[in-house]
Structures are given as C-alpha cells and as structure tokens.
Amino acid sequence: MIYDEWVFHDVEHIYLQLIKKIRCAIYSGQLSAGEKIPSVREMAKILHINPNTVMRAYKIVSNDKLIVSYRNGQYSVTTDEQYIAKSERILQRYFVVLTSIICLH
C-alpha cells in the first residue's frame, strides 16, 4: 500500500477523508484481511498530518471493526473477510437508496 500517494483537500476534515481512504482501500482489496497498517505516528509521518487526526480516524474505523488495534500501538485490517464483504454490501445498498432518494427530489 502506498500511503504517501494519498492526497487530502481542504473541503472536508482530514480525518473524514482518511476514514474514507482506509475503508476504500479495505473494500477494494488494496489492504488485505490481516494486513498490518502503519501505527498512528508512522501514518502521521507518512501523510504529513497531525497524529491526533490519524488517531481520530483509526478510532472510528476500529469502531466499525474494519481494523484492529493492539496494545503495542500497531494496527491491522480485521482478519474476518466475511465481515468486510458484508460491510461493503451494506455500504453499497446505502448508496443505492441514497441515490434513489436524491434522484426523486
């Protein structure tokens, strides 16, 4: 995974953009189940952003159960491939419904 290619804009909070980038990387298979991801400090250094921003994003993605945190400060993608696939299907359905609602108005 080439994190240093991730680009952020100033229209949306960086932590929200980072959440989307992590989720997209997991759902697209760029990050595999069980794959290690950089620690908070490592990711902040790679992306040239504040560690608190990374921590905030990691906490939300961790609450989604897409990444797992370890006591040593390391993170990895969940090993539950079925959960990843199920989450992706739910997200796709959400977008279909949302698009339908927007198109009706």
Please give the chain's pLDDT, 105 residues, in tens.
789 899 999 999 999 999 999 998 998 889 999 999 999 999 999 999 999 999 999 999 999 999 999 999 999 999 998 888 888 887 777 667 767 677 765
Q: How many angstroms separate the CA atoms of 27 and 25, rounded?
A: 6
Dihedral sign for Cα atoms in the order 9, 49, 3, 80: negative
Residue that has been written with the tokens 């100033």 in this structure: 10
Q: How far from the centroid of its chain's Cα atoms is residue 71's Cα?
A: 20
C-beta of residue 31 within 8 angstroms of C-beta of residue 25: yes
Hey, what domains does the chain have and what are their CATH numbers? Answer: 3-104 (1.10.10.10)
Q: What is the pTM of this model?
A: 0.83
Q: What pLDDT does 104 receive?
A: 63
Q: How many angstroms separate the CA atoms of 89 and 86, rounded?
A: 5
Q: What pLDDT does 98 receive?
A: 65
Q: What pLDDT does 14 receive?
A: 97
What residue spans of 1-105 are helical by DSSP H? 14-27, 40-47, 51-63, 81-104
| 77 DSSP β-pair partners | 67
Q: How many angstroms separate the CA atoms of 31 and 61, rounded?
A: 13
